[in-house]
Amino acid sequence: MNRAAVLDGIGSCLPPRVVSNGELAATLDTTDEWIVSRTGIRQRHVAAPGTATSDLAVGAGEQALKSSGEPVVDTVVVATTTPDRSCPATAPAVASKLGLTGAAAYDISAVCSGFIYGLATACGLIATGTADRVLVIGAETYSSILNPRDRATSVIFGDGAAAVTLRPGGPDEPGAVGPFDLGSDGNGRDLITVRAGGSEQRLSGVEPAPDDQFFAMAGKEVFWRAVLRMSESAQSVLGRAGLAVDEVDWLVGHQANARILQRLANALGIPPERHIVNIAEVGNTAAASIPLALADAHAAGTLHAGDRVLLTAFGGGLTWGSAVLTWPELDPTTRRSP
């Protein structure tokens, strides 16, 4: 029998401070009405200065390990666009803070597709026997790279982290993850970018141009590409899995914009009642977006063991990816009380 990766734990961590659209409108030329109608976002969580991505990753990782009932993993993967430092990777620090010094630990940089890319590499490690138990975390502090004067990006992104644990198992048991579909198009790398700070625009001791040190996005250009790539990738992974659209119980798309998600669901022919959406409460949390939507849906009791879940994401790079998984029986104490 093929060795597959099986999801057996989940957790999340949001910084406590909630920033409403109204609070943003006090300093930016925007309104609650514009933000809600154009993006579906009502609020986002924002990390306090001094809170690093690893802090949120550790909070989510602790919860996921606890929910799996097994405190040890041999590999930690952190998907993030906002690492603690440009060198070294964030994952080794996360592993050590979780008491997992010695574990293999590395970052995945695929922006909003990062969690699916991370999940794919983790499943590969388990399938080949290189790893037994893997913690995959999506974690972001986008507030550290947003331009506070840019209304087009400041209203969209939020901070947060969420994580899952994986163990070896059979491909047909609840929790089995896969197959995957992954892709990229580097011709679009300028559409979602932070220009300064890498080898292209090197640190010289002199401040880079202000706009270059911050995250920048060509929103309109990104919008239609996100819909197209996610729907193509989702259809391709369903083909690989041999599944028809009506065999999918839940669509979990990257929470980029409620209008993107609506168009994605329409393109796939998935009705709104089978669509998991939490963007109103957390905004776009990039690599944390998909696991956070899963963790919220699990906590709310929406996902049930045996449900077939279709994940699809699109992000900077450009990158995209999709995966299919069967929802497992998870520790019921991680659900919210009704």
Q: Which residues are marked as active site? A: 112, 254, 284
The smaller minimum CB distance to ligand COA, of residues 32 and 74, is found at 32
**Concatenated DSSP letters of 121-174:** HHHHHHHTTS-SSEEEEEEE-GGGT--TT-HHHHTTB--EEEEEEEEEE-TTST
Q: Using CA atoms in the order 59, 54, 281, 258, what is the torsion angle rounded to 10 degrees?
A: -130
Per CB under 6 A, the list member of 56, 77, 194, 226 interacting with ligand COA is 226
Indicate whether 43 belongs to the interface with ligand COA (CB under 6 A): no
CA 73/CA 54 separation, integer angstroms: 17
Per CB under 6 A, the list member of 52, 182, 256, 282 interacting with ligand COA is 256
Could you give the 3-state DSSP secondary structure of residue 196?
coil
Q: Peptide bond preceding 179: is omega within 30 degrees of 0, i.e. cis?
A: yes
Indicate whether 151 belongs to the interface with ligand COA (CB under 6 A): yes
Shortest approach of ligand COA to residue 152 CB, angstroms? 4
Per CB under 6 A, the list member of 3, 38, 97, 240 interacting with ligand COA is 38
The distance between the two most distant Cα atoms of the chain, rounded to a whole number of Å, is 59
Binding piece for ligand COA, criterion CB under 6 A, among 96-104, 164-172, 213-221, 235-243: 213-221
Enumerate the β-bridge partners of residue 327: none
Indicate whether 252 belongs to the interface with ligand COA (CB under 6 A): no
Site string for ligand COA, 78-117 (x = CB under 6 A): ----------------------------------x-----
Which amino acid, 249? D
Binding piece for ligand COA, criterion CB under 6 A, among 116-124, 134-142, 164-172, 218-226: 218-226
Pairing of strands 308-315, 250-253: parallel
- Which residues bind to ligand COA, rule: CB under 6 A? 30, 34-35, 38-39, 112, 151-152, 155, 192, 217, 219-220, 222-223, 226, 254, 256-257, 260, 284, 314-315
